[in-house]
Amino acid sequence: MKLYGYGSTPNPRKVKIVLAEKGIDYEMVEVDLYKAEHKSPAFLEMNPSGKVPVLETDDGRYLTESIAICRYLEALHPEPNMFGRDAFELGLIEMRNRQMETELWSQIGTSWKNGPVVAKMGNRVVPEAKEISDANVHAYYQRLDGELSDVDYLTAGRFTIADVTLLTGVDFAIHYCGLTPDESLQNLWRWHGFITGRDSVDSLG
Ligand SMILES: N[C@@H](CCC(=O)N[C@@H](CS)C(=O)NCC(=O)O)C(=O)O
């Protein structure tokens, strides 16, 4: 299979971590977002949304949406399990993953879209929106610090897709949005160091 992505962008990174966890061989195809290769007619044919990642299956079909791709990978390679083994776990891990997406990633996304990098690209930004979302991200870091006080993983007692979504979101926030968790948030930092130490978790690159 082929994975279309770009550098250390966070959504392709989720898929790369799951591919590595499951030991799946694949070919990486870099799509240069700065050259707008993801808006070319050939790319839009694979993904009309014009975004990475895209997974090309061995029989030439395409999947987009990082979590949908990861679910496909889990169905093909059930171990190690990252989405849940029974009905309750399936619900629990989905719940935590959705919380990371809707409560954290959405705020990080607002900070990114209204931040200096996007402004430099010539886009209109709303600095007040970034101020609000920055505060929301820092408040959420506080909450996570409490939730991670006596556990190694976000949920289910093992490495799951919810950890992948949290890690890729926090790293993007740190490196591209200036949203570094306060050093007093020891539990969040301990979790971050522990997860980053996994073989499947690449450095940001
Ligand atoms: N919901 C999608 C989001 C994909 C996405 O926004 N990808 C970013 C890179 S992390 C991208 O392609 N951005 C370029 C653009 O939106 O033009 C997913 O989970 O795969």
66 CA → ligand 1 middle, Å = 9
Phi then psi dihedrals of residue 30, to 5 deg: -80, 130
From the CB of 165, is ligand 1 less than 6 Å away? no
Say how many Å lie between the CA of residue 64 and the centre of ligand 1: 10
Q: Is 9 in the pocket of ligand 1 (CB under 6 A)?
A: yes
Atom 6 in ligand 1: which residue has the minimum CA distance? Answer: 51
- Is residue 54, in this structure, part of any structural domain at all? yes
- The structural domain count of the chain equals 2
- Domain assignment present for residue 201? The answer is no
Residue 93 confidence class, pLDDT cut points 50, 70, 90: very high
Position in ligand 1 atom list of the atom nearest CA 6: 9
Q: Do 48 and 113 share a structural domain?
A: no
**Ligand 1 contacts CB of residue 38 (under 6 A):** yes
Is residue 189's pLDDT more than 90? Answer: yes
Tens digit of pLDDT for each residue in 116-149? 999 999 999 999 999 999 999 999 999 999 999 9
Question: For residues 174-202, b (16+ Cβ closer than 10 Å) or e, as one string?
Answer: eebbebebeeebeebbebbeebeeeebbe
Taking residue 87's Cβ as centre, other Cβ atoms within 10 Å add up to 8
Task: Look at residue 68 and tell me whether its pLDDT is greater than 70.
Answer: yes
Answer yes or no: do 55 and 34 share one domain: yes
Answer yes or no: do 71 and 109 share one domain.
no
91 Cα: distance to centroid of ligand 1 (angstroms): 25
Atom 2 of ligand 1, residue of closest alpha carbon: 65
Please indicate, yes or no, whether residues 179 and 115 belong to a single structural domain of this protein: yes
Render the chain in DSSP notation, one character per residue.
-EEEE-TT-HHHHHHHHHHHHTT---EEEE--TTTTGGGSHHHHHH-TT--S-EEE-TTS-EEESHHHHHHHHHHH---S--S-SSHHHHHHHHHHHHHIIIIIIHHHHHHHHTSHHHHHTT----HHHHHHHHHHHHHHHHHHHHHTTT-SSSSTTS--HHHHHHHHHHHHHHHHH--PPPTT-HHHHHHHHHHHTSTT-----
For 139-175, write each residue's pLDDT tens digit: 999 999 999 999 999 999 999 999 999 999 999 999 9
Question: Which atom of ligand 1 lies nearest, measured to the CA of 67?
Answer: 19
Residue after which a domain boundary falls, among 76, 95, 112: 76
CATH of the domain at 116: 1.20.1050.10
pTM of this structure: 0.97
Range of the domain at 152: 87-196
Has residue 204 got a pLDDT over 90? no
The alpha carbon of 9 and the centre of ligand 1 are apart by a number of angstroms equal to: 8
Q: Is 5 in the pocket of ligand 1 (CB under 6 A)?
A: no
Residue ending a domain, choose from 41, 76, 111 = 76
94 and 175 share a domain?
yes
Does residue 9 carry a pLDDT above 80? yes
Contacts of 52 (CB under 8 A, 6+ apart): 4, 5, 6, 9, 11, 12, 31, 33, 38
The residue among 45, 76, 107 that closes a domain is: 76
Residue 202 pLDDT: 82
Q: What is the pLDDT of residues 21-62, one digit of tens each?
A: 999 999 999 999 999 999 999 999 999 999 999 999 999 999
- CATH number (domain holding residue 56): 3.40.30.10
Closest C-alpha among 95, 56, 49 to residue 72: 56
